[in-house]
A and B are shown apart, each in its own frame.
Chain A
Amino acid sequence: MKKVLMLCLSAVLFLSACSSSDSDSSTSDAGADSNKVTIWAWDPNFNIAALNMAKEIYEKENPDVEIEIIENAQADIVQKLNTGLSSGTSKGLPSIVLIEDYRAQSFLQAYPDAFYEMSGAFNKDDFAEYKIAPTSVDGKQYGLPFDSGVTGLYVRTDYLKEAGYTLDDLQGLDWQQYIEIGKKVKEATGKDMITLDPNDLGLIRLMIQTAGSWYLEEDGVTPSLAGNEALKEAFEIYKGMMDANIVKPNSDWSQFVANFNNGDIASVPTGNWITPSVKAEASQSGKWAVAPIPKLSVEGAVNASNLGGSSWYVLNGDSAEQAADFLGKTFGSNKEFYQQLVTEIGAIGTYKPAAGGEAYGKEDEFFGGQKIISDFAGWTEEITGLNYGMHTYAIEDILIVEMQNYLNGKSIDDVLSDAQAQAEAQLK
Chain B
Amino acid sequence: MGRILEKFNYHGLFFKMFLVMVASIVAVSIIITYSTIHMSERLFLDTFSITNSKVIQQVKSNFETFSNSAAAAANEVQQSGTIKNYLSKDDTTSLEMSKDYYNTHVQMDRAHLNVDDYELSIMITGMNGRSFSTDRNYWMIDEETLAAHEITRKMYAEPKKLLYQLEQESASPMIVITKSLIERTTDSIYGAFYLSIKESEFKKFYSSFTSEGNDILVINSSGQILSSNRPEMIGSTSAFLLKQAEALEEQDGYKEIAWMETNQIMLAEYLPALDMHIVNLIDKESVLDNLINTKTIVFSSFVIVLIAVSIVFLISRRMTKSLSRLVKQISSLPKKNFDQYVTVTGSYETKQLAYAFNDMLDELHNYVEELVQTQKKQRNAELAALQRQINPHFLYNTLTSVKIMVQQGHKEKAGNTVNALISLLQHATGNVHETITIEEEIENLKSYVFINQVRYGERIQVSYFIAPDCSSLHVPKLIIQPFIENAFFHAFNQKSEGFIHIIILKEEDTLICEIIDNGDGMQIKSGHFLPDSRRNRQLFSGIGVRNVHERIKLLYGEKYGVHISSNPGAGTHIRLVLPVIRSGNNSKI
Contacts and interface: CB of A to CB of B under 8 A. Distances in A.
Nearest to B132: A251
Interface string A1-22: 1011001100100110011000
B307 A11 contact: yes
Interface string A249-284: 111111100000000000000000000000000000
Contacts of A248: 94, 97
Interface string B77-115: 000000000000000011101111110110000000000
Interface string A231-262: 00000000001111111111111110000000
Contact of B310 (A7, A19, A242, A252): A7
Contacts of A408: 99
Interface in A1-57: 1, 3-4, 7-8, 11, 14-15, 18-19
B350 to A, nearest CB: 20
Interface residues of B, number: 24
Contacts of B61: none
A199 interface: yes
Contacts of A404: 99, 102
A352 B280 CA distance: 64
Interface stretch (B35-43, B296-304, B427-435, B481-489): B296-304
A192 B101 contact: no
Given A251-B104, A253-B136, A254-B136, A18 B94 contact: no
A407 B95 contact: yes
B127 interface: no
A378 interface: no
A395 interface: no
Contacts of B311: 4
A34 to B, nearest CB: 36
Interface in A197-212: 197-199
A4 B307 CA distance: 7
B133 interface: yes
Residue of B100, B102, B136, B311 with most partner-chain A CB within 10 A? B102
Nearest to A200: B105
Nearest to A192: B94
A18 B303 CA distance: 13
Contacts of A250: 101
B307 A241 contact: no
Interface residues of A, number: 34
B147 interface: no
B94 A251 contact: no
A97 interface: no
A199 B102 contact: yes
B91 to A, nearest CB: 8
A216 interface: no
Contacts of A372: none
Contacts of A7: 306-307, 310
A120 B310 CA distance: 85
A244 B100 CA distance: 17
B95 A19 contact: no
Contacts of B98: 196, 198, 242, 247, 249, 407
Nearest to B97: A249
Given A247-B98, A249-B97, A407-B99, A4 B310 contact: yes
Nearest to A238: B98
A363 B102 CA distance: 40
A8 B303 CA distance: 9
Contacts of B94: 192, 241-249
Contacts of A249: 94, 97-98, 100-101
B314 interface: yes
Nearest to B109: A199
Interface string A305-322: 000000000000000000
Contacts of A19: 296
Interface string A45-84: 0000000000000000000000000000000000000000
Interface string A136-168: 000000000000000000000000000000000
Nearest to A10: B303
A249 B89 CA distance: 14
A407 B104 CA distance: 16
Residue of B94, B136, B299, B306 with most partner-chain A CB within 10 A? B94
A116 to B, nearest CB: 33
B300 A251 contact: no
Contacts of B100: 249
Contacts of B132: 251-252
B131 to A, nearest CB: 8
B394 to A, nearest CB: 85
A251 B133 CA distance: 8
Interface of A: 1, 3-4, 7-8, 11, 14-15, 18-19, 192, 196-199, 241-255, 400, 404, 407-408
Q: When A and B form their complex, which 5 residue pairs have the shortest distance between CB atoms, in order from nearest?
A: A247-B94, A198-B102, A249-B101, A242-B95, A11-B303
Given A19-B296, A248-B97, 17 more contacts: A3-B310, A8-B307, A11-B306, A11-B307, A15-B299, A18-B299, A196-B98, A242-B98, A248-B94, A249-B97, A251-B133, A252-B133, A252-B136, A254-B133, A255-B131, A407-B99, A408-B99
19 contacts: A4-B311, A4-B314, A7-B310, A18-B296, A19-B296, A198-B101, A199-B105, A242-B98, A243-B95, A245-B93, A249-B101, A250-B101, A251-B104, A251-B133, A254-B133, A255-B131, A400-B102, A404-B102, A407-B98
